[in-house]
Structure 1
Amino acid sequence: MADQQLQAKPEQWTDEQWQAIVQRGNNLLVAAAAGSGKTSVLVERIIRRIMDEKDPVGVDQLLVVTFTNAAAAEMRHRIGDALRKALKDDPHSSHLRRQLALLQRATITTLHSFCLGILRQYYYLIELDPDFRIADQMEGELLRQDVLEEQLESWYENDADFHALADVMLDGQDDHALTILLLRLYEFSRSHPAPEQWLGEAAGMFAVHDKNGLDGLEWTRSVLRSVELALGGMTAKMRRAVLLAGSPEGPAGYLPLLEAEAAALQRAGAACRDGWEATVEAVRGVVFAKLPPVKGTDPLVKEQVQDLRNSVKKELAEQIEQYFSTTAEQYVADLQRIAPHMQTLARLVTAFSDAFQLEKRSRGLVDFGDLEHLALRVLTETNESGETVPSSISTQLREQFAEVLVDEYQDINLVQETILQMVSRDGANGQPANRFMVGDVKQSIYRFRLAEPKLFLEKYVTYQKDGDADEASIGRRIDLAANFRSRREVVDAVNFLFRQIMSHGVGEIGYDPSAELINRASYPEAQPNRLQAEMHLIDRNTAIAEEGQAVAAEGTDEGEAGIPEGESAEEASVAQLEARLIASRIRRWMESGEGEEPLLVFDKKAGGMRPLAYRDIVILLRATSGWG
């Protein structure tokens, strides 16, 4: 156990937080749940590294990577406050004074800013104009569109393979779909360290070489995983129908048929793990016979059972139509026919990328994606065997940084991961690994920006959790599950909900006891039946119909009803329905009923309870445009 861990743990930290603060010697992944104090832990770790009496580290020897400039500024501010407090306690410390002076030059930054600093310093290694500037978003998009149009003209004139691809993809003269595809592939490929290699591998997935046909393809495994998940949902619905039919008010005469159908669906789901042909046979073996007549049953329960069964029949028919209406031989033939076009597509994306980079270079421009890829060129080189290895600059940075700390690690991509690897020690040559990564994969929301949460999940699974990480271990994982932010009512509601819906199949991580939030917040007891989590379901079809009838009766047209321009009546009605529900809840909280006490909330500054104010209420929307 590291010497630091032998220090007495201050009372304000949990055991897990303290481990995250003092543990050294391995790469460390901290899975920090919402409200677990991860920022405080990160700051405390940095401060203790700087103030360590046995092995002090200069603030300029730390690389702290945050997700936003605002987070970097807050981190720098909190570190400064902690240093000033320590200096007040020890005013004669020259080390603390020096660290406070160095703080503004410390590498506490976003990854883009870090890459920009590398390029400003080492531009000459990659023949980059030292006066380069970052293109703004509009300028970059217009230039990209101009270059693509030039490339399309050239391909239309001189590229027979492009003509063949266009003939397959395009309907008529509009090449918009092909343009969108080219740009999407370009953007996605740039999230990989070697875009051209990734494009080639992606195109190669269409080639059928394996003697097993479809079962040898990644496509098949992906489709079968999706089908298995869908069949699992259908089986659950049928089990629900069985329970309803077996109830005292249910249509018991349906039971034998429902149980047989549920078992057939379950067998079909299991067959998805045995290959394509086995799945096709099992899915087509699910047959829905005519339900027998039943008497003496509750009509509502009977209707519920029938609705559940009918929805399963519809879902199964959709799965068969989507995946199993074509034979395996036809699929293989289609893939073989498409494969050359995919090779052409990969080549075109690479050609466009080269032309775009050349045009930006001629204008002295880089975009945010270029910052990462150009920095990676500075940090890597190719050895005699053709392998990508750290460059001399990378080696220098590894020597400089005693520790590399990464916040919001769940939202980085493969390029960023490679950059971090190049500037971090990997445990070789007698130097301990020195990466500290903190985040929560359950809060990963930037996959649409090409974040790759699987990087977090891979370490979450492979890093050791319990006990001290041994010398041969890849890394150590610490779970911060204690929530210091929310009332128990909120924590219990979140845990209950995510236990039902989060699984490896749906969310790539299971919501097991190690992932659940643990309530540690200290609040006064809430008023009975006043503060509790609620979920309201609006029957939109019924409510919208009633809304329409009311509007018609009043003789109000859409414009008079306040529907925003460009928004349908149904969308507006849905927004109005939700707004009215929210307003009714707020009014109920703010206006106490007769004989009812005002709703009280805890005020941290006042140190006690006070009546609810409007400023205490937050309404969260996915987007405010039109709805806000």
Structure 2
Amino acid sequence: MASPRILDPATFPLHGMRLIEASAGTGKTYTIAALYLRLLLGHGDEHSAHASPLDVDQILVVTFTEAATEELRDRIRRRIREARQAFVRGESEDHFIARLLREVPDHGQAARILGAAARNMDQAAIFTIHGFCQRMLKQHAFESGSLFETELEQDDAPLRREAMLDYWRSRLYQLPGALAAALLQLWGEPMKLLGDLYGLLSTDGLRLEPDLSALDLADEWQLQVARVDAFKQAWRQCDDDLLDVLQRGDLNGNSYRKTSVPGWLQAVEDYVASDQVLPDSRLAEILEKFGQSRLRDKTKKNGVTPEHPLFAHIEQLCEKWLPLRELVLGEALREVRRRLALNKAQRRLLGFDDLLSGLDRALASAAGPRLAAAIRVQFPVALIDEFQDTDPQQYRIFSGLYSTSPDCGLFMIGDPKQAIYAFRGADIFTYIQARRAVSDHYTLATNWRSTSAMIASVNRLFERHVAPFIFDEDIPFLPVQAAGHADRKPLMLDGEPVPALTLWHRPGYPVGKADYQQLFADSCASQIVRLLGGGARIGDRVLEARDLAVLVRDRFEAAAVQQALRRRHVPSVYQSGRDSVFSTREALDLYRILQAIQEPQQERHLRAALACSLLLQDADSLQALNDDERRWEGLVAEFIDYHQRWSALGVLATVHQLLERRNLASQLLALPDGERRLTDLLHLAELLQEASQQLEGMPGLMRWFGEHLQSPNGNSEAQQLRLESDRNRVTLITIHKSKGLEYPVVLLPFPINHRTASRALYHDDDTRPVYDLSQGRRPLRAERERLAEDLRLLYVALTRSVHACYLGISDLKQGNDRASVLPRSALGYLLLNGSDAEALPGILQQLGAQAGICLTAPPLDDRPLPAPAAGTLELGARTFRGRIRRDWRISSYSALSSQGPARDLPELPGLDLEVVADAREPDAGTADIFGFPKGARAGTFLHGLLEQLDFPRAAGEGLRELIRQRLALEGFDEGWAPVLETLVGDVLDAPLDDRGCACAISVPQTG
């Protein structure tokens, strides 16, 4: 495959299907904004320009999160304003805008176009993929066949749970007792079965292997029972001494120890005597040992093989065990999908996945070509941001829309090296499929984020391996160049530049995961203390805690680092908490406290509430309540007060009263984790208050609270833990959430940590997803895909840093096995490049000798961070030095028509005309030419006029003539003409709100 071309945003062709691969820090958003400007201005020659200039509502920009859409909208708006100012001034320091100035001849027209675009950016077609699909289904309801009245369900977890419970009841309750018992051994309750289906329900095009859909569970169970009964009958009728038969054979002594064989035969004897049909895993393994073929394989060379009809019977039995787990998983997947879709249809609900599948089905239907044509007319050009995170449905939608229309444009922008969201449906193999289908590939070659040394170090690390991302033909590593902007302000410590890449190496034998994690958590905290306490500087400013980020894989790694930082008095904050607030200790404590408030006369509830950690009662205080009856009565009276406040003002007011009365806020904040606990408490109180609006009384709310304690949902955005502080603190964040961010200094203490593939989900040669139903089998492809994603995670982590990055490296073992698992990790894969783990020290020595890379022992220092020097804090109000504009006011047509022309009013900026009506002194001798004719009223004239306009294309002489005709028809004086001309023109240019109405406009005070 040919190498991609370097992208020049000024000559990039604005039509056809094109792929842009933008490595980390190479200015992807800058490039999107540049292409956006060109589309607005119609810039380019006959080979690169779009067919015609486009408006902001004709350029579709799609990304994958709400936060990303807002960031893109703001960045594009700022870029448009910069370009407009440049066209007004005729000069710009930005090289791209300067080029536009040279190549766009009419600067005045360009400034007007960009000014209108900036004003209309609220109407810009910048959506999430789900938002785009939702709009298309609504706006083209007839073509798409979608319902007019549907409700978007943001969290369909309760619906999935309901569908699973329906399947469980309808299936399990009808099964024979022995089969139901066998199922309960596999999944003790329905939610465990639903957990095994997690991620599979929404996987498009999933193929199950093996495909058992043609088998009936009940029929297969009867056949299994018959085979087992026949074997048990044969075993009972056997009078031979099987132990003697086995001992007379020449079996391998290691596989068939004399002390083990009698116990194995006894286990089979117990199985035959029981009612059990399917053996557990241990018993199944024992039975396989007595299969005739296994005994033959384990016989010594030229030895005698033990033979008996029962051994052949056992072998036949083991070859035909009922695949119960596989059968139920396949059936449950089909049934839960069907029931989930039926429940949504009956309730007219749509989940986020349904928006994609709905538009996908509509485009594949008979009306699909008509729908696709309508969407292309609406959006001639589409820019798909973060395209590496696409999935088969998303790619089908956009390729189906644009692949057959070369005059339109589909620009897919992303970086396959940063495709790290497989857990939420992103499919790198869909990206690979799209990359192979698109012939025009472009890339961005210059990194604008990091220092030259940092970029060179990352390049060296990934260039060590010939296939650094495994799928090297489709995901190549192309070294990027350094822009050098960050070099101007280097990171210095003790007067010396800090190395770009520091490798902490613990030599010696492989260590366990716990020891590895503890060692490098301490090393990480020690290095942070050294940087912050040693006066490290970036250019002229002192390095601050907020400049440092510790990247981790999960909350357990974050907790280890946070604990080490806390011992050294370093403030930190974890920014990736996806745990539900209902799974915290504070949730259970608050539940007990509210139980006591609901029933303050119940002594057991009061004692349970007082014993919880949230009320901060020590043993002496609790004992005093037992010894002093008056103190106990005072406590009951206090909780009765809380009960009355709850009844009158709600649960949120009650929690606030509790905090104030017991001074809990200040006491909690004095604890090491007090901010976290107080944040969780207030978060819970807000959720309870919101839920109380829909529930009846205290019992209903407490029932709701209890249900959420039992089933917390970390995927619900409302339940996710909130950030406890945004002050100057060291940031702890997962690698997944750090994508797109940058930090001056990055610490990656656990890059060797990894998890083997948790499920046998992989892709076949046709890039179609396959799920192997067999329990315990992990195809090599699944593990290979896991390693490939870990390599992309490592790339994302290393490219977050601007100046310096620290890595913790040690040989690693798994469990009690002393064998190294280092080659299975992403960093080990790159470093070893096929070598054994014993070669690691020599490899690191070679790497550490290169410029910008430092090899050193892990720093271990328990010294705390020095407290900042105490100074006198003087408080005072800030002085306002801004300028308030006084040349405008908010007005309306009704105010203008009732009060006369704006030029007659006093200069009272910011006030509506009706507010200052009393300030006018009307001249009784002068006729009010701006008064309404008899029978007319405010609003009717302008509304009637707008109805006649060819909205929004009326302009110029046509608009003036229409206004004069309408004035004459209504009996108005011609003095209204210039006022209405300006007013209607502003209305036509005003942005629309979500109801399609024109927003408020600003009437210049100059008249």
Structure (1 or 2) with the larger CA radius of gyration: 2
Pick from 556, 559, 568: which aligns with 1:626?
559
- Indicate whether 1:478 and 2:456 are aligned: no
Question: Given residue 601 of structure 1, which amino acid in structure 2 is its aligned partner?
Answer: I
Decide whether aligned partners of structure 1 residues 337 and 438 sit closer, same or farther in structure 2, where only a CA change above 3 A counts. Answer: farther
Task: Work out whether residues 446 and 483 of structure 2, in 8 Å CA contact, stay in contact via their aligned partners in 1.
Answer: yes
Residue 372 of structure 1 deviates from its aligned partner by 1.2
| Structure 1 residues 623 and 332, CA gap change in structure 2 (3 angstroms) | farther
CA distance in 2, matches of 1:427, 1:351: 37
> Which runs of structure 2 are paired with 1:31-430 in the superposition (5 Å)?
31-52=21-42, 55-88=52-85, 89=88, 90=107, 93-123=111-141, 130-137=148-155, 140-157=156-173, 171=185, 174=188, 179-180=193-194, 183-184=197-198, 187-192=199-204, 198-199=205-206, 201-203=207-209, 345-382=329-366, 390-423=368-401, 425-428=402-405
Match of 1:253 in 2: none
Does 2:493 align with 1:493? no
How far did 1:540 drift? Answer: 11
Q: 1:183 to 1:79 in 2, by over 3 A?
A: same
* CA distance in 1 between partners of 2:400 and 2:387 (Å): 16
CA distance in 2, matches of 1:449, 1:390: 28
Mapped contact 1:19–1:478 kept (Cα < 8 A): no
1:23: how far off? 2.3
Structure 1 residue 368, shift from structure 2 partner? 1.2
The number of equivalent residue pairs is 428
Q: Does 1:454 align with 2:463?
A: no
Give the letter aligned to residue 515 of structure 1.
L
Output the CA distance in 2 between the equivalents of 1:581 and 1:67: 36
Q: 1:349 to 1:583 in 2, by over 3 A?
A: closer
Contact 2:144 2:368 in 1 (8 A): no
Q: For the residues of structure 1 that align with 2:433 and 2:444, how far apart are their CA atoms?
A: 18
Q: 2-side partners of 1:502 and 1:331: how far apart?
A: 47
Q: 1:620 to 1:526 in 2, by over 3 A?
A: closer
Q: 1:177 to 1:66 in 2, by over 3 A?
A: closer
2:419 & 2:403 partners in 1: Cα distance?
Answer: 26
Note if 1:601 corresponds to 2:607. no
SS at match of 1:190: coil
Q: Report if the CA contact (8 A) 2:212-2:327 is conserved.
A: no
| SS of 2:160 mapped into structure 1 | helix
Shift of 1:354: 2.0
Instruction: Tell me the equivalent position of 2:6.
Output: 16
Query: 1:74 deviation in Å?
Result: 1.7
Is 1:521 the counterpart of 2:498? The answer is no
Instruction: Quickly say closer, same or farther: Cα 1:403–1:601, change in 2 above 3 A.
Output: same
Question: Using CA pairs below 8 Å that are at least 6 residues apart, which structure has the higher relative contact order?
Answer: 1
Closer/same/farther in 2, CA of residues 403 and 172 from structure 1, 3 Å limit: closer
**In 2, Cα distance between equivalents of 1:580 and 1:515:** 35
For 1:148 and 1:516, the matched residues in 2 are separated by 49
With over 3 angstroms needed to count, the CA separation of the structure-2 counterparts of 1:69 and 1:502, relative to structure 1, is farther
Separation (CA, whole Å) in 1 of partners of 2:196 and 2:500: 50
Distance 1:590-1:98 versus aligned 2 partners, 3 A rule? closer
- The normalised TM-score by structure 1 is 0.59
Q: Deviations over 1:189-216 (max 9, x none)?
A: 5231xxxxx35x4356679xxxxxxxxx
Aligned with 1:30: secondary structure? strand
CA contact (8 A) 1:483 1:518 kept: yes
User: Letter of the aligned partner of 1:102 in structure 2?
Assistant: N
Q: 1:582 aligns with which of 524, 531, 536?
A: 524
Q: String of CA shifts for 1:541-566, please: whole Å, max 9, x gaps.
A: 9999xxxxxxxxxxxxxxxxxxxxxx
Contact 2:84 2:114 in 1 (8 A): yes
The residue type equivalent to 1:390 in the other structure is: G
Q: Secondary structure at the match of 2:442?
A: strand
Superposition deviation, residue 19 in structure 1:
5.2
Residues 123, 334 of structure 1: alpha-carbon distance in 2 compared, 3 angstrom cutoff: farther
Question: Structure 2 vs 1, CA of residues 509 and 180 (structure 1 numbering), >3 Å: closer, same or farther?
Answer: farther
Cα offset for 1:91? 5.5
Counterpart amino acid of residue 414 in structure 2: G
Please report how far the alpha carbon of residue 448 of structure 1 lies from its aligned counterpart in structure 2 after TM superposition.
Answer: 1.1
Cα–Cα, structure 1 residues 47 and 206, in superposed 2: closer, same or farther, change >3 Å? Answer: same
Q: What's the C-alpha RMSD, in Å, of the aligned pairs?
A: 4.2
Classify the secondary structure of the residue corresponding to 1:154: helix
In structure 2, the CA distance between the partners of 1:500 and 1:121, relative to structure 1 (3 Å rule), is same
Question: Residue deviations 1:230-282, cap 9 Å, x none?
Answer: xxxxxxxxxxxxxxxxxxxxxxxxxxxxxxxxxxxxxxxxxxxxxxxxxxxxx
Distance 1:373 1:126, change over 3 A: same
Mapped contact 2:491–2:536 kept (Cα < 8 A): no
The percent identity for this pair of structures is: 23
* 1:243 alignment counterpart: none
State how far apart, in whole Å, the 1-side matches of 2:510 and 2:427 are. 41
Equivalent position of 1:530 in the other structure: 498
Offset at residue 149 of structure 1 (A): 1.2
Is contact 2:161-2:194 (8 Å) kept?
no
Q: Rate the CA distance shift 1:95–1:378 in 2: closer, same or farther, 3 A.
A: same
SS at match of 1:353: helix
- Give the TM-score normalised by the residue count of structure 2: 0.38
Instruction: Could you tell me which runs of 5 or more consecutive residues in structure 2 were left unpaired when the two chains were aligned.
Output: 45-51, 89-106, 214-293, 298-313, 563-1007
**Matched residue type, 2:38:** R
Once the two structures are TM-superposed, the CA of residue 44 in structure 1 deviates from its matched residue by 0.3
Structure 1 counterpart SS, 2:32: helix
1:443 alignment partner in structure 2: 418
Whether the 8 Å CA contact 2:138–2:146 is kept in 1: the answer is no
1:503 aligns with 2:467: yes
2:150 touches 2:350 (CA, 8 Å); kept in 1?
A: yes
In the alignment, the residues of structure 1 paired with residue 475 and residue 63 of structure 2 have an alpha-carbon distance, to the nearest angstrom, of 28
C-alpha deviations, 1:92-142, integer Å up to 9, x for none?
A: 6543344334321221011011112123334566775544222243xx222
Give how far 1:151 is off.
Answer: 1.4
Distance 1:91 1:333, change over 3 A: farther
Distance in 1, matches of 2:126 and 2:359, equals 17
Match for 2:505: what amino acid?
Answer: L
The answer to whether the 8 Å contact 1:589/1:599 transfers is yes
- Per the alignment, do residues 390 and 511 of structure 1 end up closer, same or farther by CA in structure 2, a change over 3 Å counting? closer
Matched residues in 1 for 2:59 and 2:377: separation? 11
- Quote how far apart the aligned CAs of 1:45 are: 0.6
TM-fit CA distance, 1:408 = 0.7
Q: 1:122·1:378 contact (CA, 8 Å) conserved in 2?
A: no
Q: CA shift at 1:441, angstroms?
A: 0.9
Instruction: Tell me which protein shows more helix as a share of its residues.
Output: 1
Report the secondary structure of 1:35's partner residue: coil
Task: Please give the secondary structure, in 2, of the residue aligned with 1:618.
Answer: strand
